Structure 1
Amino acid sequence: MSLLLTRRITQLFVGVFLYGISIAMMVRAGLGVSPWDVLGQGVSLQTGIPFGITTALIGLVVLLLWIPIRQKPGVGTVCNALLVGPSAEVGLAVIPEQDVLWLQILLFTGGLLLLAVATGLYIGARMGPGPRDGLMTGLSRQRGWPIWVVRTSIEVTVLAIGWILGGTVGVGTVAFALLIGPLVNYTLPVLRVPEAPKEPHLDGDAEPAGTAN
């Protein structure tokens, strides 16, 4: 196994693990969940389907949206679907809930920054993004729009729909929707593993041209 492939695999698993930990940090901060979780809450309230199942079903619907934009799943897509949840549970088990405002802000900010880094790590491994991040990279590639524009547009749209359906919105939710796009726009090109001649293909190399992610 080449050193570059070893780096890709390591970066994938580290990124996915940190992704779950970052979610746990923001949950424990108590300032609001992410826009996708607001949507999950709203759909759950309207349908009576448990939140966990609703989240999984939304992920499947998002994967169907990959078809018209010709986004290809990869090993990273499967790892994201299977491992982010368990790693988030690990984070929730070790990170205490905060009720002091400055600690809440600190924990949420750290979680948001860590999520941006984690996204750059696991997508930058070039082994396939998760359902929601794949929608972002696929639209960016197809439309030629900057990552930050696509990500922010998706988050704001999802947030609005979730709120209309009855999902809970906090100040952290709004901050997430507005800031995650620019942050990921920075981390993706910085953390992307470079191409190598005759490197084994593992699918999921469908990142937008010009963004180096």
Structure 2
Amino acid sequence: MPSLNLVSRLLQLLLGLFLFGIASSLMIRAGIGIAPWDVLSQGIALRSGWGFGLVTNIVGVCVLLMWLPLRQKPGLGTVLNVLLIGPSAQLGLNLLPPAHGLQWQLPLFAGGLLLMAVATGLYIGARFGPGPRDGLMTGLHARTGWPIWKVRSLIEASALAVGWLLGGNVGWGTLAFALLIGPLCGITLPLFDRQRRAVVAAPGS
């Protein structure tokens, strides 16, 4: 029988991945710019005619394949990340109409950004392995010796540029995402990191 802690971690992971996809759909429907990887998926979806959720899954698989020469080992969270975020994002897009007017666009985008920070804290804090994009970043860092910030910037700038050329939505929201998602995740990650909380709660800590 799986332990209660394992079950609760798995539920935290699944909730985080589901909310991550919903957060993406909120920002897409806001229409003022989206995250770099979503720009790439949106651009491919526009060019191919495939659904955004399906393209998100395909991009995730392609990124995961890039782990092979980097000798990265995926965890359960990595695999579920690839499989589940796309369908939840597509669900959100199917349910939400596009927003019109800044009085609707700004709160919708802000809600999506905050929800994505919470979702990131949930699925990373469950400690079932990094997402495919995070693993690519850490793998390239380990192989090249470049600083994490430089590797992350190069990867996301490449995804953003290709997505923009394909017609993905780049705007003020994209800049706001780049500036704010790091600090926001700095708040949510400690809240949902189970190992850190266990250490803090331990006697004598």
Question: Is 1:25 aligned to residue 26 of structure 2?
Answer: yes
1:101 corresponds to which residue? 102
Equivalent AA in structure 2 for residue 85 of structure 1: G
Aligned partners of 2:57 and 2:83: how far apart in 1? 11
Local SS of the residue matching 2:194: coil
Q: 1:97 to 1:80 in 2, by over 3 A?
A: same
Local SS of the residue matching 2:195: coil
Question: Is 1:80 aligned to residue 47 of structure 2?
Answer: no
The structure with the largest helix share of the pair is 2
Question: Is 1:128 aligned to residue 133 of structure 2?
Answer: no
1:178 corresponds to which residue? 179
2:40 corresponds to which residue? 39
1:209 corresponds to which residue? none
Equivalent AA in structure 2 for residue 158 of structure 1: A
Aligned partners of 1:133 and 1:40: how far apart in 2? 17
Aligned alpha-carbon RMSD (Å):
3.0
1:207 corresponds to which residue? none
CA deviations 1:137-190 (Å, max 9, x no partner) are 5456775845x6654553233212332454332221232233323433443344
Structure 2 length as normaliser, TM-score? 0.76
1:49 corresponds to which residue? 48
Equivalent AA in structure 2 for residue 72 of structure 1: K
Equivalent AA in structure 2 for residue 39 of structure 1: L
CA deviations 1:53-95 (Å, max 9, x no partner) are 6544432321122234332112212222222222223323443
Aligned partners of 2:146 and 2:190: how far apart in 1? 16
Deviation (angstroms), 1:132: 1.9
Aligned partners of 1:92 and 1:44: how far apart in 2? 13
Local SS of the residue matching 1:194: helix
- For the 8 Å contact 1:152–1:180, the answer to whether it is kept is no
Aligned residue-pair number: 193
Q: Kindly, what percent of the aligned residue pairs are identical?
A: 58
Structure 2 regions of 5+ residues with no counterpart? Answer: 199-205
Local SS of the residue matching 1:32: coil
Deviation (angstroms), 1:100: 2.5
Local SS of the residue matching 1:72: coil
Local SS of the residue matching 2:83: helix
- For the 8 Å contact 1:156–1:178, the answer to whether it is kept is no
- For the 8 Å contact 1:155–1:177, the answer to whether it is kept is no
